[in-house]
Amino acid sequence: MHAEVTKVLFSEERIAARVKELGARITEDYRGVPLAVAGVLCGGSVFCADLIRRIDLPVALTFVRASSYGGGTAPQGRVKLDLLGADVAGRHVLVAEDIIDTGFTAAALKSELLARGALSVKLCCLLDKPSRRRADVSADYAGFTVPDVFVAGYGLDYDGMYRNLPYVGAVEIKED
Ligand code: IMP
Ligand code: MG
């Protein structure tokens, strides 16, 4: 068995256009307030890098690391966070995530960033998979809504691979 990204769901051009739109909205919404963008490693790194260049404001950039463990079926979804010393006190924080799936990662990040003194925390994701939501969070800014299929590319991985694809595609498991 092997995995293949067989179908392009969101092309490079479509993603670029949408990221530009999100950046323009964020620019309007955060004008005049101290803003920190927190990219979520590893999956959100590509999206975050493109997004910040579409925000026409002074921005502090920081990265945080999040990983889930115990499998997606764990009751509260266990999320391991590493804030990597992010200095968010006194700033409005915008989290740049690849995808909000169950929402456990976003919920954990939100409460941890608020506990560290963020003035507000909003979520910006490239992809939103609301059909899988289990935690009580929703995206404040979302690029695209996706159905319940496993996707990879543009930062998102399947088994550690495909993050470098310039587009987002559907992962298919094939018999060898
Ligand atoms: P959560 O379930 O909302 O906590 O999402 C946790 C993380 O799972 C995301 O940040 C992604 O890294 C990963 N993830 C969820 N769905 C997908 C997918 O379809 N492809 C690749 N990664 C995914
Ligand atoms: Mg991730």
Looking at the chain, the whole-number percentage of residues with pLDDT higher than 90 is 87
Task: Indicate which CATH number applies to the domain containing 87.
Answer: 3.40.50.2020
Domain membership flag for residue 90: yes
Contact in structure between 92 and 119 (CB atoms under 8 Å): yes
State which residues have CB under 5 angstroms from ligand 2, the bound ion. Answer: 43
- How does pLDDT run along the chain (176 residues), one tens digit per residue? 888 998 999 999 999 999 999 999 999 999 999 999 999 999 999 999 999 999 999 999 999 999 887 654 555 678 999 999 889 999 999 999 999 999 999 999 999 999 999 999 999 999 999 999 999 999 999 999 999 999 999 999 999 999 999 999 999 988 88
Task: State the pTM of this model.
Answer: 0.95
Domain membership flag for residue 164: no
Cα of 32 vs centre of ligand 2, distance in Å, is 30
Domain membership flag for residue 40: yes
Cα of 150 vs centre of ligand 1, distance in Å, is 9
* Residue-level pLDDT at 108: 96
Counting ligands in written order, which one lies closest to the CA of residue 162? 1
Domain holding 51, by residue range, is 12-149
Q: Distance (Å, rounded) from C-alpha 104 to C-alpha 137?
A: 8
Task: Classify residue 130 as exposed, middle or buried by CB count within 10 Å of its CB (0-12, 13-18, 19+).
Answer: middle
Number of structural domains in the chain = 1
Domain membership flag for residue 53: yes
Q: Distance (Å, rounded) from C-alpha 61 to C-alpha 48?
A: 9
User: What end-to-end distance do the CA atoms of the chain give, in Å?
Assistant: 5
**Is the CB of 104 inside a 6 Å radius of any atom of ligand 1?**
yes
